[in-house]
Amino acid sequence: MLKKVEVEAKNLIEAEKLAVEQLKIQKEKIKMTILTEKKGLFGIGSSAVYEATPNVNLAIEGKQYLESILKAMDVKCQMEVRTVVEGEEIHYHVESDENALLIGREGRTLLALQFMLRNYLNVFVDNHLIISLDIGNYHENRRKQLEILATKTAKEVAQTRIAVKLDPMNAFDRRIIHTKLSEWRDVITESEGEGEERALVIKPKNSR
């Protein structure tokens, strides 16, 4: 899962420079291992092949990165980190006295922090990690609210056979409603619009 590159250089210092260029991370976060040594004639032109890989614990690295952001915002917090699926999913839960500030309007600040955290950690890996950040149980509470809205609206659409367009919402919220109604037999969900105006429409399923 962690990135891995091979570099050939005359010495460790040169190898580290090449590794930093290719991995695009700090030298202090790279582990160098000699794979093979190549001897030149009379010792001239000798070199070695090194394996370079990030020397980090992803869950801890993400925690420290997030803490540095919150410290810059002058926010004190408690953080819980949970790793699942052999480290391919990392979930962070934050509690602070400034939850409202960190969540932002419609969860926009929270989503921005999650985006930054995900991009930072994905620098260290070949594949994309699943990273989630929740603050003050916002995601869980929001999910429950949206599922209630989805069920109520779907029942209305099924009875009246008239489509209902919900207020614009972000992709995370739209996905919750899509998932909740994916197995309903009487309605379908579609997204319409662009950017911040993108909204979900719940429509009656055409009878066959």
| Half-sphere exposure at residue 69, Cβ-oriented, CA atoms within 13 angstroms | 16
What are the pLDDT tens digits along the chain (208 aa)? 899 999 999 999 999 999 999 999 999 999 999 999 877 665 566 889 999 999 999 999 999 999 999 999 998 888 888 776 555 789 999 998 889 999 998 888 999 999 999 999 999 999 888 898 999 999 889 999 999 999 999 999 999 999 999 999 888 889 999 999 998 999 999 999 888 889 999 999 874 4
Please give the DSSP secondary-structure letter assigned to residue 124.
T
Residue closest to 171 by CA, chosen among 140, 195, 149: 195
Task: Reply yes or no on domain 58-136 having CATH 3.30.300.20.
Answer: yes
Strand partners for 203 = 188
User: In whole angstroms, what is the distance from residue 3 CA to residue 111 CA?
Assistant: 26
Sign of the alpha-carbon dihedral angle for 128, 130, 136, 142 = positive
SS3 171: helix
pLDDT digits (tens, 9 = 90+) for 71-102: 999 988 888 887 765 557 899 999 988 899 99
| Interstrand relation of 130-135 and 89-96 (parallel, antiparallel or unpaired) | parallel
Any idea where the domains of the chain sit in the sequence?
5-54, 58-136, 140-204
CATH of segment(s) 140-204: 3.30.1370.50
User: In whole angstroms, what is the distance from residue 183 CA to residue 176 CA?
Assistant: 13
